[in-house]
Amino acid sequence: MPALVQKLHPALRPGQQLMLAGTRQSLFSRQGDWDGGSALHCVAMALAMLGMLADPVDLPAYASGPAAHFWDHAWPHYLHGLTPSGLASFVYELNTGVQPVQAEGSPAELVRFCAQELSAGWPVIVWIVNHRTDDRHAALVVGIEERDMIAKALLLLDPSGTAPVLGVCNARLEPRESYASYITPETSVRADVDGAVSIRTLKENSTGACCA
C-alpha cells in the first residue's frame, strides 16, 4: 500500500489547538465574515511562523512593537484585500527582513512550488478561486501531503474557516489536470489557484528578529 505522509512546517506544534512551536501562542488568525483581509491574516501567521511576530491573533491590541508596525501597514488594505502582486509589494514594504517570491502556473505547478518552499522552511500563501461563484481568497500553506514522495495535496489554514481542533489545517487543496479540489469540513468545490507568494527570510536577517 502506498505510504501517505504529511509534512508540516517546523514552526508548528499540533495539539488540541495549533500552536507555534516552543510557545503557548495560538497561530490561527481568523478573518471576519465581510472583510477582504484573508491575505493579511495569512501574512501575520506566516511572519509568526518565521519568528517575527509573537502574536498573530490580536494585532490591533498592541500600541508599539512589531505587531503595531504590521497593523499600521495592514489596516488600509483590510476591507478590499490584496492580489498576489499586491501582497508581494506589501510584504516588501514592511521592511521586516523578509523577501516575497511570487509564482504563477497551473494548480499542479503551484503545488510543487509550495512543496519546495515549505521544505526549505518558507511559509507560502495561495489564492483560491471558486469556479462556481468566482469568489477568491487567500490561505496559508502549513503542510504538504505526499504519496510515494510526490506532493498530492496542500494542507491549508483558511482564515475564513474555523480554527482547526485536534488537527493542523482546516482546508486542503488537491490538484487535478486542469483544476483543483478545495476541501473543507463543510464542502468540496472545484477551484483554481490564482498564484502563490512565498515569504523567505533574508540571509542578513536569518535570526528572525523583526525590524519595527
**Mean per-residue pLDDT for 36-53?**
94
Domains of the chain: 4-205 (3.90.70)
pLDDT for position 211: 36
- Is residue 121 within 8 A of residue 21, CB to CB? The reply is no
pLDDT band, residue 2 (cuts 50/70/90): low
Tell me: pLDDT of 115 over 60: yes
Q: How far is CA 82 from CA 20, 144, 150, 183, 186, in A?
A: 25, 24, 31, 23, 25
Q: What is the percentage of the chain residues whose pLDDT exceeds 90?
A: 55
Residue 204: the pLDDT is: 45
Q: pLDDT band at residue 138, thresholds of 50, 70 and 90? A: very high
pLDDT tens per residue, range 141-163:
999 998 887 888 999 999 989 88
- Find the angle CA(85)-CA(26)-CA(111) to the nearest 5 degrees: 40
Mean pLDDT (the chain) is 88
CA atoms of 160 and 135, how far apart (whole Å): 12
Q: What integer pLDDT is reported at residue 210 of this predicted model?
A: 42
**Per-residue pLDDT, 206:** 45
Selected residue with higher pLDDT from 199 and 147: 199
Q: Are the C-beta atoms of residues 157 and 139 closer than 8 Å to each other? A: yes
Q: How far apart are the first and last CA of the chain?
A: 51
pLDDT tens string 55-96: 999 998 999 999 999 999 999 998 888 999 999 999 999 999
Residue 208, pLDDT above cutoff 70? no
Q: What is the mean pLDDT of residues 188-206?
A: 85
Over range 16-32, report the average pLDDT: 82
pLDDT band at 31 (very low <50, low <70, confident <90, very high): confident
Task: Record the pTM.
Answer: 0.84
Rounded Cα distance, 122 and 76, in Å: 26
Nearest in space to 128 (alpha carbons), one of 149, 116, 111: 111
Q: What is the pLDDT of residue 202?
A: 85
